[in-house]
Amino acid sequence: MTTKTALVTGANKGIGLEIARELRALGMHVLVGARDPIRGKEAAESIGAELLQLDVTDPASIAAAAAQVEVLDVLVNNAGVLLERGALPTATPVDLLRETYEVNVFGVVAVTNAFLPALRRSPAARIVNMGSGLGSLHFASDPQHPYGQNPLLAYNSSKSALTAITLSYAAELRATPIKVNVADPGYCATDLNFHSGPRTPSQGATAAVRLATLPADGPTGGFFDEDGPVPW
């Protein structure tokens, strides 16, 4: 059997590194996508993976990385930022919104499009976009839900946009073997939130790994955590 190749962006630490570790444990050739080559190499070597230097906001970096990969079986768009630190929506600068979207939204589209030729060469590629329950409009519209009381304008809306983007890709690729889904890792302790979450990065990797290894009859165009579907 040919070894499958997986790319995880933003994988030098946190949930991304745990996803990479678990895919490597499943026998995949894992590419640790990282902007910083030093930290990325250290992370890759720690799990027996390979560094792929990649800045998801830099078109030249994306193109150079994509040129190194002939066939890609799994793409996990994990790189993300949370830049608000308690700012209310009305006090959130537009520039902060743009900076957030550059990574969480535009970066996902740019990376996916660049690697799509390699994904099409796989017999059954999987694309996993790392979302968040904070991007669920269902949760956000409920003032009694904890996420409905957490109005992070830039981050939350970027994750809502990501779910819509996922649906667009899933619709276009539905006639192909490629499946595209959103994974909700839950509230995990990572650098993103100053390690305030109650869940571990390993727990946060569960849904993404499951979606990255879906069988042929698995879903596409869905939003899932480790327990099943999450409401949009």
| Torsional class of 23: left (φ above 0), alpha (ψ -120 to 50), beta (otherwise) | alpha
CA–CA gap between residue 4 and residue 112 (Å, rounded): 18
Q: Which candidate in 101, 147, 155, 187 is catalytic?
A: 155
Helix (H) or strand (E) holding 209: helix 201-212
Confirm whether 187 is a catalytic residue.
no
Q: Tell me what percent of the chain is helix, strand and coil, each rounded to the nearest 5.
A: 45, 15, 40
| Catalytic member of 13, 159, 179, 187 | 159
Other Cβ atoms within 10 Å of 91 Cβ, number:
10
Q: In whole angstroms, what is the distance from residue 53 CA to residue 61 CA?
A: 8
Give yes or no for a contact between 109 and 79, defined as CB atoms under 8 angstroms apart: no
Q: How far apart are alpha carbons 164 and 121 in whole angstroms?
A: 25
Q: Is 134 helix (H, G, I), strand (E, B) or coil?
A: helix
- 155 assigned to active site: yes
- Check if the beta carbon of residue 11 is closer than 8 Å to that of residue 51: no
Q: Which DSSP category does 191 fall into?
A: G
Active-site amino acid positions:
155, 159
